Every structure is written in C-alpha cells, then in structure tokens.
Structure 1
C-alpha cells in the first residue's frame, strides 16, 4: 500500500508554479542549487554566475568545465538545467525522483551515474527497532565540459570533497572524469567506514548470544533487526560492482584513460566491502542457528529434569495409591511400625533415584 501511495505521489502532476531562475530572491539556479563553479586548469575561477553564463564562459574559452551541485531539486528547478545541458528526460526523471539502483548509463554525450550513499546511525545500544544504516543517493551527470551532481538524503555532503579536490589542482585539471572518480571514491570510502561501525554491532550481538550457553539472554529481535539493516546496506553496495567495472575497463571518451586506473582501484575497495557485508550476513546466519541450537539444548535439559522429578515423585505416589485402597488384608496393615516403615522405604527409593539422576547429569 505504501509503495502504491509513493507511486501515486510520484506520478501526480505538480501544481507548483514555474521557477523563475533569474529572481533576485533566489540563487542563480533556484533554491536547490548548492554550488555552480567554473574550473580551468584545475583552479577554481572567481565569481559566481548562473549556469548558462558559466557554461558559456567555458565553451568560449575552449577549456575548463562547470561543476553544478544540487540538493533534492524539484522537476521545475531541474528543468532549466536539463534543457541547458541537453540531459535525457529519462535520466532527469531518475535524478528528480531518486530511489534508483546504482548504475552507469550513457545518453549520447553524457554519462549518467547513480550511487547509493550509506551512513551509519549511531546508537547507545542495538535494539529490535534500532536503525543501523541510512541510505541516500548521488546522481552524477558527466559531460565533456560539465559535471552536475544531484544529491538526495541528509548525509554525505559533497562540500568537503569539493574542497579537497580544489587543494589538488593537478588532479582536478584532468576534467569532469576526475570529479566523477572522486565522488565514487568518496562514496565507497564511506562504505568502508560503515562496515567498521557495523562490526561493533556484530561483536555486541555475538557476545550477547554466547554469553549465556542456554541462549536465554539473547534477544533474537536484535539479530533480525541487524540482518534487515545489513540487507539494506547490501542493496546499496552490491549493484555498484558492475558499473565500476564498466568505468574502469570499458574505454569511453568521457573518461580519461589515466582516471580509469583509479576506478579499478575503487573497484578493489568495493570488492572488499562486498566481502565484508557477505561475511556479516553469513555470521548472522550462524549466530541465529547457534541461538536456536542453544535454546533446543536448554529445552532438552529442562525436559530431562522434569522427567527425572516425575520418576522420583512416582515412587511415593505409587505407595500412597496402593495403601489408599480399602482392603482389610494388606501387608503390615495392622503392624505398629508399618506406616514409618513404608514411608522410609519410599524415601530411600526416592533418594537412590535422585542420586542416580544426579550422577547421570539429569539433575
């Protein structure tokens, strides 16, 4: 039902009036724009200007590129940029509505890359309802003289990355493909950081499960919650493997041959993340199986104890049942010491059975 509502909202026509990109009260490209910067020879050019003026400066000079950053733009806010740079409508729709799988697609002279960002949600203690990972998206349009980034989600800001790149003009001078590599590398590095944080939760759950050999101290809901969150993490990481292989191996005019080597290095890091996530999943399966085995063993022990006590209690029950019958002629019925003798025999039999069960580990 929720998916249907989301789909209905996505397909419903927007009634927001067209955005005036030249209005003084807005940034040059609308409220969703984070930055619009011209780079030439790896150096940031001074002076802010709208996208049309920025790309005109670059094409007039015949060198450099424009990097435009947007945060969760609406269809109206993005339509002007899409028309200016000739972006394909399908790619524009994906960038606006988000919720896409990681992928790399080429539309004519533009490379469209979708990346899933992942952030670790800190918590004091993992519970059955704790949120462990939070996902977002970064879409990158890469052309010969422009880079457009569209970010969704409240984490993984590209501001620090931009500053880091600007401190390395020799790398930034390689063009838009260098920016694309830096963004992909930035996202994958965050994957590694999340795996290190998730490892702490894995250790805590494992200790909790095996702390009590009877399996009663473990909260299985925590294990299932961590497994669900790990599945979300895996959905963000695993599909990126194939796109990175394409970026690192398949020749394309939009990717500098030297930058392709860097993409192969990022692909190695991603492979490490995939291995760790797969290992986490296998370990959680083992923890669940171990917990089930512990509970089963504990239940068997309880059943043995119950059976042993039932056998012990059966002895006096049988004696009382026999002497409770209304017969005149019964052994030692009229003997003065008959009652204590029968009780003594029953007590002795119970003690011997209790000793035997204790010796065999049933009690």
Structure 2
C-alpha cells in the first residue's frame, strides 16, 4: 500500500477499521486527472490529496450503515444532517451547501424488462445516489442497483482532461449517467404504452384495468425521481453557482439539464397518454356493462310473455277461456313462440341481442 507523508511531516491518520471498509466500493487518488497507483485508505488518500496541487479523492460507498459512515464523516468533515440523509436515502432530489461541502441528492431509475405487462409487473426500479463535493474530495453514496457507478469511473479515467477539472467533473459524470438512464426508462415505458394502447383498442383486447393502474403507479414513481431533479440542475447551471462549479463543468451540466428537460417532456406526454388509455378502457368497460344489461333486459322481456301466459292459465277459475277446447294448448304455444320470435327479432335488429 502506498503511504504518503503529510506536508507538515506528520504521519498519516490511522487506517480505518475492517467494518468501515465493508461499504467502500473503491477509493482512488487522482492527480491532474490521473489515477495514482496503489490501494488507498480513504484517510490516507485525503491527506495525500491535500498535500498535492490539483489532486482529489473519489470515495465510492454502497449502502453504508451509521457505524460505517461515522468515521468517514469525521475524517472528511461532513455535516451530520447530510450524513443522516446519506444513510437513510429517503430524500427528494435536492442541492444543499454545508460550509465548503456541497451535498447533491439524485434519484436513480432503471427499466426492468418484462415479457408482458400485468397487474404485478415491476417496470421501474429506483434508488438513490448522494454526492458530497468538497475542495479535495468527492464521495458518492449509492443505494440500490438502478445506476452502478463503476462504468462512470472507468469512462472518466479515460478522459484525463475532464477528470483534471476536479471533484465537480465526477459530479457531472454521475448525473449524466443517471439522466441517461432516465432516457432509457422513458423509452421503455413509451414502448409499453404503445403495446398497451394497441391491445386496448384491439377488437379482442385483453388488457385489464389493473395492469393499466400498475403502469400508472410505475410511471408516478419514475416521475417523482425525474421532475424534482430539475431544480438542483438549474441551480448548478445558474450564475449563482459561480465560484463553486468550474465554468467548464457548468457547460457540461447545461447539457445534462437539456437532456433532463426533454425527458420530463416525454414523461409528461406518456402520463397524458396513459390517462387517455385508462379513460378509454373505462369507457369500454361501461359500454360492455350497458350491453350486458340490454341483453338481460331483452331476454327478460321475452320470458315475460311466457310468464304472463302461465300466470293467466295457472289460475283455477271454473270458466277459463278456451279451457275445454281441444286446440287451446297448440294455439297458445304457437302464439307464445311467435311472440317470442318477434321480440327476439326486434331486439336483435336494435342491437340488444
């Protein structure tokens, strides 16, 4: 392991415990955009970064516990409120500043492939990435598997000029990857909507109201991740971020903001289309119910003819009409059948049967 002596000649801080290492995915020291060799302890890496110009630490964590996060927060000087948010990971997208550390919360999303949309289909998986950006460090805390950051690190390490911009280059790359995943999710949901719309308006459509509501819930969950993220990005690209975000990186954030805006427009359009599909399906169900009621009423009217005849001839009067005539039953049955057939033909012509 590479060990660096601080600028004041003092030995580096003591290494972290095994417990604190369990949540560390990767810890690297970068100087002028180049990753330094060796396995770095996060405390040693921070001391080395502060002793060198144009150097910073990128510490990646995955679902740390309170005990794991405490020594890291003490070493890097993280505010307790931000640390609490990073542990619980139940925050809306936001941007906060604690002294010289900027805290950015992002919601991640991933589209889950499925053969067919049902009332139990999980379409969108969400998580969170929380980023601490300091003068000589950036800490990414990931919750869930929606957006893994190892590809982001690999891509950045291949772009030395961008990585040389410092911790904010990492923040840009992470947000860019998250928004790219938003676009993939939006496209996947749009494909589901196309298939759902085709099925609903097919002659023998089989889509249930439950499956449409399920997609609606998934879309609402995705929208909660995407729409609130617009405000932090607007802050990062505004003039208020001058002095905090490098000018060159602000240009990159504007590109991310543009992609996010288009994704929000797509999500809004998908939501409107899904509402229209839901209303159309509800109208179809209502029409089907009306058709069923008309069929029941038509058959009830036909049955009433027979019921009326049975009610009349079932009364035990002594002088019933045609009671002793030998052709009474044949004529009565013929009359009932003819009346029923006439009613059936009328109802069939009017679309009731």
Alpha carbons of 1:143 and 1:322: their partners in 2 closer, same or farther (altered >3 Å)? same
**What is the distance in 1 between the residues matched to 2:169 and 2:345?**
79
Q: Aligned partners of 1:240, 1:75: CA distance in 2, in Å?
A: 26
Please give the TM-score of this superposition, normalised by the length of structure 2. 0.88
Question: Structure 1: how far apart are the matches of 2:327 and 2:65?
Answer: 99
Question: 2:118 pairs with 102, 116, 127, which one?
Answer: 127
- Paired position in structure 1 for 2:227: 238
Match of 2:88 among 78, 91, 97: 97
The alpha carbon displacement at 1:328 in A equals 4.5
Distance (Å, rounded) in 2 between the aligned partners of 1:301 and 1:175:
68
Q: Match for 1:247 among 211, 231, 236?
A: 236
Q: Secondary structure at the match of 2:147?
A: coil
Cα pair 2:56 2:136 within 8 Å, conserved: yes
Q: How many residues align?
A: 339
**Structure 1, unpaired ranges of 5+:** 1-19
- Quick check: 1:360 aligned with 2:350? yes
Relative to 1, partners in 2 of residues 1:320 and 1:265: Cα closer, same or farther, differing over 3 Å?
same
**Maintained 8 Å contact 1:140/1:148:** yes
Once the two structures are superposed, residues 303-361 of structure 1 have per-residue CA deviations (whole angstroms, 9 ceiling, x without a partner) of 11222222222223323333333344454444333332232222222222222222111
What's 1:280 paired with? Answer: 270
2-side partners of 1:170 and 1:121: how far apart? 35
Alpha carbon RMSD of aligned pairs, Å?
2.2
Query: Against the structure 1 CA distance between its residues 96 and 335, is the aligned structure 2 distance closer, same or farther, given a 3 Å change threshold?
Result: closer
Task: Give the drift of 1:129.
Answer: 2.4
TM-score (norm 1): 0.86
- Gaps (5+ residues) in structure 2? 1-13
Mapped partners of 1:291, 1:154: distance in 2: 35
CA deviations 1:184-217 (Å, max 9, x no partner) are 011111111112222233334333433356x7x3
Q: For residues 314 and 110 of structure 1, what CA distance do their matches in structure 2 show?
A: 83
Is the Cα–Cα contact under 8 Å of residues 177 and 254 in structure 1 kept in the other structure? no
1:319 aligns with 2:309: yes
Structure 2 SS opposite 1:150: strand
Partner of 2:41: 50
Is the 2:138–2:170 Cα contact (8 Å) retained in structure 1? yes
Residue-by-residue CA offset, 1:73-95 (whole Å, 9 max, x unaligned): 22332223222222212112211
Q: Evaluate the alpha carbon distance shift between residue 22 and residue 178 of structure 1 in structure 2; reply closer, same or farther with a 3 A threshold.
A: closer
| Distance in 2 (alpha carbons) for counterparts of 1:293 and 1:61 | 69
CA distance in 1, matches of 2:265, 2:278: 20
Q: Distance in 2 between matches of 1:309 and 1:111?
A: 73
Match of 2:214 among 220, 225, 230: 225
